[in-house]
Structure 1
């Protein structure tokens, strides 16, 4: 531990790359009084999994020393820019099968950054011991996601005040263009995928606005070209290309068709809904009612999103509130329903 403290001190004071020990060195601080769990370093290979802990993405893990300092070192990262995530939580051991390795632990923090194998990076504590609020790195692109997170917080606040559908459309158009412009100014296609993933998520209320934009906006084709030029063999490039093809096909299917097709699709959807309802009623005929009368409309919506396995950040995006507000709602839900974890909540609604 003393050696790690010495290395961290040298890095923070002198900006040393610690290259005599390893090619990359990612250091930081956590409040030892608040955080006791392990820290995970993950390589994000799917931009639909930017948040949470995913076992297949983990490449290193460590624990902070008694003073709260931690260090990741090694020589196994890609030589070109990639997206990485450092995550810490206080999930108890008996919840790691669901909450821990799905990013569902309420008491967790994480940060996304861009790095190469030769980079050094520091994550010092901020004001009032705020965690992961500043990124210092030899890579100029490292901190792009903290800036994008700030932009998303402003967007979520504006959407929370929007009521009419017309205003939502105007706000969506504005923010889609804002993320696209800001992403291009960052001159990093990997950062642009952050905004694309946000708006093109099919479970999000923003998806329909994204489809409207996709129909006549040349930005998406240009982004594909930038990815192919800078990251021709990266899995993100193929993932983006495939998703764009799928979304364009979906867009083509949503254009006006003959009335016969419209009625046929409507009939099939109605049949599925009726069958699903009958199966649900039969399954739950003798089930004990779940005590949800005390939940607010917003809390009921959050419960539904939890049952759909959305993470806290995904819920915040879906209902356009901050992450801290989502955590507060979830704590209230647990208290009202007499549960203490997502597992118990799902069991309650599966009876």
Structure 2
């Protein structure tokens, strides 16, 4: 009977462990443990456009055993890859002291993966994981670390070129690509790169939207793209207004030149009339007939007609009425 009870207890324990599989577990190395809270906190991480680049959403906490052990089971994690953070808070009385050890760790995990922290020389120092996205993220960090010591000699163009080249050629997981882009945003380089490579980021955003990645993770990128689109549209509108204004000024100038040329042409035509032709022109305007003009100037009617024909030709008219109106 007693053996049966023990066997029943073991079966229950096995079932419990199967249902409560620990996705995150391990040990902490806490020097001066009295200075730290006795629990580990778990948060889901969202990327954003703020100064620190992350928003933390608390989801659970785990007590730390006397041996330093903690764990979180799979109920706290999503079926797809997400970014998470675990951290230990210092006690308030020492929270402002300098030199406090790094007390948090960011990692990528899904419900089907696990991460195990070994007891190292500092908090969350040594760990193993089977999550492919997190392993790729670690490779990205190693690549980015090459630029961390550049300081004043930091070449933004070279960094953009090499980082984007690495993201396109070496990174296979969309979530990690998104994290690499967030790094550009943290360095105030993302907007510049979007303006220079809008098609690339538009295509990437389309790919992100069709993936299983939580939209909250790439909302900052979508907002940044919208901002650049708006700036480009405003810039094109301003240029269009400027070009239209210049075109209007050119048209006005051309009209003025044409009017001036016609006026000069008319003046030239008037000047080109001979003295006799001007006299006949004035007599015509005063209402004289050809016969009256011939009698007054003591010339033949045919001569008057010849002069009138020359006047019409020079002034580009064909009748007395046009002459009077002109």
Distance, in Å, in 2 between the alignment partners of 1:44 and 1:193 is: 13
1:230 and 2:214 equivalent? no
Aligned counterpart, 1:155:
147
1:214 and 2:194 equivalent? yes
Q: 1:133 to 1:224 in 2, by over 3 A?
A: farther
- Offset at residue 84 of structure 1 (A): 0.8
- Offset at residue 20 of structure 1 (A): 0.9
Would you say the 8 A contact 1:231–1:237 is kept in 2? no
1:32 and 2:13 equivalent? no
Q: 1:121 aligns with which of 106, 115, 121?
A: 115
- Offset at residue 175 of structure 1 (A): 4.2
Q: 2:180 aligns with which of 176, 195, 204?
A: 195
Q: 1:187 to 1:24 in 2, by over 3 A?
A: farther
The DSSP-based 3-state class of the residue aligned with 1:62 is strand
Greater C-alpha Rg: 2
Distance, in Å, in 2 between the alignment partners of 1:226 and 1:170 is: 26
Distance, in Å, in 2 between the alignment partners of 1:94 and 1:53 is: 24
RMSD, aligned CA: 3.8
The DSSP-based 3-state class of the residue aligned with 1:143 is helix
Distance, in Å, in 1 between the alignment partners of 2:117 and 2:134 is: 11
Distance, in Å, in 1 between the alignment partners of 2:142 and 2:162 is: 13
Structure with bigger helix share is 2
Would you say the 8 A contact 1:44–1:85 is kept in 2? yes
Question: Residues 266-308 of structure 1, C-alpha deviation per residue, up to 9 Å, x if partnerless?
Answer: xxxxxxxxxxxxxxxxxxxxxxxxxxxxxxxxxxxxxxxxxxx
Distance, in Å, in 2 between the alignment partners of 1:225 and 1:236 is: 14
Distance, in Å, in 1 between the alignment partners of 2:131 and 2:85 is: 15
Would you say the 8 A contact 1:22–1:73 is kept in 2? yes
- 1:1-351 to structure 2, matched below 5 A, reads 20-35=18-33, 36-37=36-37, 38-48=39-49, 57-92=57-92, 106-126=100-120, 129-158=121-150, 160-162=151-153, 168-181=155-168, 185-201=170-186, 206-207=187-188, 209-217=189-197, 218-231=199-212, 234-250=215-231
Distance, in Å, in 2 between the alignment partners of 1:86 and 1:213 is: 32
Would you say the 8 A contact 1:144–1:186 is kept in 2? yes
Q: 1:224 to 1:19 in 2, by over 3 A?
A: farther
TM-score, normalized by length of structure 2?
Answer: 0.56
Question: Residues 212-254 of structure 1, C-alpha deviation per residue, up to 9 Å, x if partnerless?
Answer: 3212324312321331222265322444323321233345557
Aligned counterpart, 1:337:
none
Distance, in Å, in 1 between the alignment partners of 2:172 and 2:51 is: 20
The DSSP-based 3-state class of the residue aligned with 1:227 is helix
Structure 2 unaligned runs (5+)? Answer: 1-15, 243-326
- Offset at residue 157 of structure 1 (A): 0.9
TM-score, normalized by length of structure 1?
Answer: 0.52
The DSSP-based 3-state class of the residue aligned with 2:18 is coil
Distance, in Å, in 2 between the alignment partners of 1:175 and 1:90 is: 39
Would you say the 8 A contact 1:24–1:119 is kept in 2? no
Question: Residues 82-117 of structure 1, C-alpha deviation per residue, up to 9 Å, x if partnerless?
Answer: 11111223242696xxx7xxxx99543222211112
Number of residue pairs the alignment of both structures matches: 223
Distance, in Å, in 2 between the alignment partners of 1:176 and 1:30 is: 34
